Amino acid sequence: MITGKFPSLRLRRSRKNDWSRRLIEENSLSPNDFILPIFLIEGKNKKQSIKSMPGVYRYTINKLDLVIDRAIKNKIPMVALFPYTENKKKNSLGTEALNENNLVCQALRYIKNRYKNQIGLMCDVALDPYTLHGHDGILKSNYVLNDETIEVLINQSLLQAEMGCDVLAPSDMMDGRIGRIRTSLDKNGYKLTQILSYAIKYASSFYGPFRDAVGSKRLLKGNKKNYQMDFRNSNEALREVALDIKEGADMVMVKPGLPYLDIISLVKENFKIPVMAYQVSGEYSLLANAINKGIIDNGAVVESLIAFKRAGANAIVSYYADRLDKILK
């Protein structure tokens, strides 16, 4: 790299005025960069706040228009659906995941029917909203079984694809599930249903508020370290992505977001595939609560989101995505 020398070179010259700063900006945010997570709740006419996530709500199906209309108007490409499941519908195997009238399936049918392809629909493939122990798979002696769990995930994927899901997002971290899900989708006529693999999902304390939002927090026994990744590792992250690409993933997710910018950039450098970053619930809560208390100003939101773009993310799953019009202003 060649560079000039002070005093003929003064980098502050181009920083003096706003027009000039805008002229040389390397990164920016557009609505196309966002995926909006939506929490669903049983019942009618509810828009229910979530204590640990100020500004985020759970919606009943008949209130979904509130949030979907706005997402489409703001040109957000895709929403991700997450159900709050009542305890009485949970069991140790998470069989509610395969109920074609579960909340996610109802929401998929409703949104697809009403909005067609105006917006993409993404769903988690994992059992944690449906299990009484809060784990993403089938539990035996406190260990999440891999191959047995995959069999259920395949059926969950096929069901969600049938109900209108455009992008299946396995977030369970079982080994080998992308390949098995891809093969089953293809065999059953869902060749064009995409897979966004949560290839890199770290066992993280930043998921706390999400587990609150979907009602699995108090149920969760132990932690998820025997399937989610160890945050001390980065080479392992590249191995995860390599496997999932071979198995047929269309895109990969890195999660959590901000503490893992190095991983986003490594994946982008090494594989040149679409990389999504998840600004998870804990990151959201830290920002939202600090802003509410006046500890930091809301410029911190844009600053954090731009960091994902700088690192190389193609899009960001963010609980702020429904307020972008305000944030980008």
Residue 306: closest CA among 264, 269, 255, 272: 264
- Residue 126 or 264: the one with the smaller Cβ distance to ligand PBG is 126
- Residue 128 or 244: the one with the smaller Cβ distance to ligand PBG is 128
Of 108-116, 123-131, 144-152, 189-197: span binding ligand PBG (CB under 6 A): 123-131
| Main-chain phi, psi angles of 104, to 5 degrees | -65, -45
Is residue 136 close enough to count as binding ligand PBG by CB under 6 A?
yes
User: Are 48 and 321 contacting, i.e. CB atoms less than 8 angstroms apart?
Assistant: no
Q: Which of 90, 201, 224, 309 is catalytic?
A: 201
80 — alpha (psi -120 to 50), left (phi > 0) or beta? Answer: beta
Q: Which of 90, 255, 268, 309 is catalytic?
A: 255
Of 10-18, 84-92, 107-115, 124-132: span binding ligand PBG (CB under 6 A): 124-132
Reply yes or no on whether 309 is catalytic: no
Q: Contacts with ligand PBG: how many residues (CB under 6 A)?
A: 11
Binding mask 261-300 for ligand PBG (x = CB under 6 A): -------------------xx-------------------
Is residue 211 close enough to count as binding ligand PBG by CB under 6 A?
yes
Strand partners, 167: 122, 194
Q: Which of 60, 156, 171, 193 binds ligand PBG (CB under 6 A)?
A: 171
- Residue 128 or 322: the one with the smaller Cβ distance to ligand PBG is 128
Q: What is the C-alpha separation between 173 and 57, in angstroms, rounded? A: 27
- Residue 87 or 270: the one with the smaller Cβ distance to ligand PBG is 87
Shortest Å, Cβ 104 to ligand PBG: 12
- Residue 60 or 131: the one with the smaller Cβ distance to ligand PBG is 131
Of 27-35, 98-106, 146-154, 205-213: span binding ligand PBG (CB under 6 A): 205-213
- Residue 174 or 185: the one with the smaller Cβ distance to ligand PBG is 174
Of 43-51, 86-94, 120-128, 301-309: span binding ligand PBG (CB under 6 A): 120-128
Reply yes or no on whether 255 is catalytic: yes
Q: Which of 40, 76, 126, 276 binds ligand PBG (CB under 6 A)?
A: 126
Residues annotated catalytic, as ranges: 201, 255
Residues that bind ligand PBG (CB under 6 A): 124, 126, 128, 136, 171, 207, 210-211, 224, 280-281
